[in-house]
Amino acid sequence: MTLQAEEGTLTGLMMDTPLTLHHFLERAGRLFGGKEIVTRSPGGTHRYRYADYYRRVHRLARVLEKLGVQPGERVGTLAWNHYRHLELYFGVPCYGAVLHTLNLRLSADDLAYIINHAEDRVIFVDRSLVPLLHSIRDRLTCVRQFVVMGGAGPVPELPGALEYEELLASVSGDAYPWPRLDENAAAGMCYTSGTTGNPKGVVYSHRALYLHSVAFTMADTFAVSERDVLMQVVPMFHANGWGKPFTGIMCGAKIVLPGEHPQARDLAQLIQDERVTFFGGVPTVWISLHAVLQEEKFDTSSLRLGATAGSAIPRSLIEIYEKEHGIELRQLWGMTETAPLGTVSILKSGMSGCSEQERFTTCAKQGMAVAGLDLRVVDEQGREVPWDGVSMGEVQVRGPWVISAYYNDPRSAGAFQDGWFRTGDVATLDSEGYMQLVDRTKDVIKSGGEWISSVDLENAIMGHPQVLEAAVIAVDHPKWQERPLAAVVPKPGHTLTKDEITAYLEPRFAKWWLPDDVVFLDAIPKTSVGKFDKKVLRARFKGHELK
């Protein structure tokens, strides 16, 4: 064959195969019919196989058709991590509608805003979560139908609601004729947790979710494969559960779903019983799991790797998991807007001979940009900062799974610049290209014209052997503008003083970085996705008199 260039341009002669989620589902059904999907539930463990899952997803598409769902319409889910929710993960986007996962930990006002702003037409809701919708039912102007999952019988709080299993049983035929979709068509939708103003809508295309799923299988990210037993701990309403449900089905991995209200002990039991090899969670999950493993004996030897994100994890915790449990904790950094994979902290091969101190120092950073993603750190004038590990600036990213705008939101204008997404995170880059998160622009402490990283102070404090959690915020100061205040939660059975915390920090930081005061709490308030909620702390300690 001779290749001819038209008007001086040579193009690849490739098949026109759109990158859509259909491929993952059909591959899973053909190749991995015998693999298990396991859900922890109050009534006992639910188990079925990919073959069952595949048939039910096809029937779910017929249910959506029966309900009159049109292509491109939003279908909401208000649900825990379980097999029915996983069915919706593929049934909705493969049908041609948009999966909108609703955060069950949001306030009633935020939940009502999100549903109406996205214009959800149908909402699938767990029976245990029906009260959340009942409280705002009269404010939902767009919803045509509610479908209840789990249990049986009528739901008085939602008149006219249908039941999920009855709907599946009411349709005939198995194989649904999937529509051919444009890979750039919307497949999923999430909203940010709304730390300032109303939550912002993030829409993901089929292409974005496809490529993001493939990125999770890279050896230099998390190497997820068919051989894994993947436990989906991250809530499936949070940034697509970090995208792992899509990756798990794509690979044909055994999937373990923790169900309603999972506690750290439940996770330890599942790791032992199901021989889990990989899962991800925010640092507070790993802190709680470690506390359980200290008190009780569980076999976690199957766990080859753990992922953590949401906030910087203390270096001390990375060391504890490796030395005490033989588990590698690998950080990823990202946001809802990046689907969320952005950077991963993994050592380069040339670092294999470095000292233990150097190794853990590098692993405690947020890592290198994942292949496919461009990342830069810029100063206030928009210039890239030197890769010296010291110069700070705002992190900006672009790539095939990074959004280009918020959904129907004027705040897009301030969030994007010259084709880059402005993350609002402050970081440094070292000479090897490893990013270290310093702070959020709204959380960094500005003292006497200099910046103090609340993240660095928090991580150091949580390295104290008697500290469970710590968060650092800025409080007003008449001379220095702002000064750091540390909120500390001691481990159970321990008491601490301000002087002990200060003495622990003194060898690690310049004197002017040290917190002016330390307050001790029973718990640090958390956001809906498990991060430390600093806006609550700032409100609580506004006007705090520094000692």
Helix (H/G/I), strand (E/B), else coil: 67: coil
Q: 237: alpha, beta or left, given left = phi > 0 and alpha = psi -120 to 50?
A: alpha
> What's the CA gap between 21 and 495, in Å, rounded?
52
Size of the chain, expressed as the number of residues it contains: 547
- Residue 98 contacts residue 188 (beta carbons within 8 Å): yes
- Confirm whether 446 is a catalytic residue: yes
Q: What is the pLDDT of residue 358?
A: 92
pLDDT of residue 1: 40
Measure Cα distances from 11 to 5, 133, 500 in Å: 7, 52, 67
| Surface-to-core class of residue 477, CB atoms within 10 Å of its CB (0-12 exposed, 13-18 middle, 19+ buried) | middle
- pLDDT < 50: residue spans in the chain: 1-3, 5
- At residue 4, the pLDDT reads 52
pLDDT tens track for 283-307:
889 989 999 999 999 999 999 999 9
**479 exposure class (CB count in 10 Å sphere: 0-12, 13-18, 19+):** exposed
| Residue 135 CB neighbours (<10 A) | 13
> Which amino acid is located at 332 in the chain?
L
Q: Is the distance from CB of 308 to CB of 286 less than 8 angstroms?
A: yes
Q: What is the CATH number of domain 22-29+48-206+236-251?
A: 3.40.50.12780
Active-site hit among 324, 450, 451, 542: 451
Catalytic residue among 192, 300, 308, 527: 192
Beta-strand pair 46-49/36-39: antiparallel
338 is annotated as an active-site residue: no
**Candidates 337, 394, 458, 469; catalytic one:** 337
Task: Residue 75: name the closest of 141, 120, 110, 113 by CA.
Answer: 120
pLDDT of residue 480: 78
Q: State the CB neighbour count (10 A cutoff) for residue 53.
A: 24
DSSP, residue by residue, 367-435:
BEEPTT-EEEEE-TTSPBPPSSSS--EEEEEE-TTS-SS-TT-TTHHHHEETTEEEEEEEEEE-TT--E
Give, as one character, the DSSP assignment of residue 481.
E
Annotated active-site residue 498? The verdict is no
Determine contact, residues 366/437, Cβ cutoff 8 Å. yes
Q: Contact 341/334 with Cβ under 8 angstroms? A: yes
Topology of domain 445-540, per CATH? Answer: GMP Synthetase; Chain A, domain 3 (3.30.300)
* Per-domain residue ranges of the chain: 22-29+48-206+236-251, 372-440, 445-540
pLDDT of residue 529: 65
Asked: is 372-440 a CATH 3.40.1030.10 domain? The reply is no
192 is catalytic: yes
- What are the tokens at 427? 């970081």
Beta strands in 106-157 (DSSP E): 120-126, 145-149
Q: Identify whether the C-beta of residue 185 lies closer than 8 Å to the C-beta of residue 96.
A: yes
Catalytic residue among 66, 348, 442, 446: 446
- In the block, residue with structure tokens 């590698």: 328
Do 372-440 and 445-540 come out as alike in CATH topology? no
Q: What is the pTM of this model?
A: 0.85
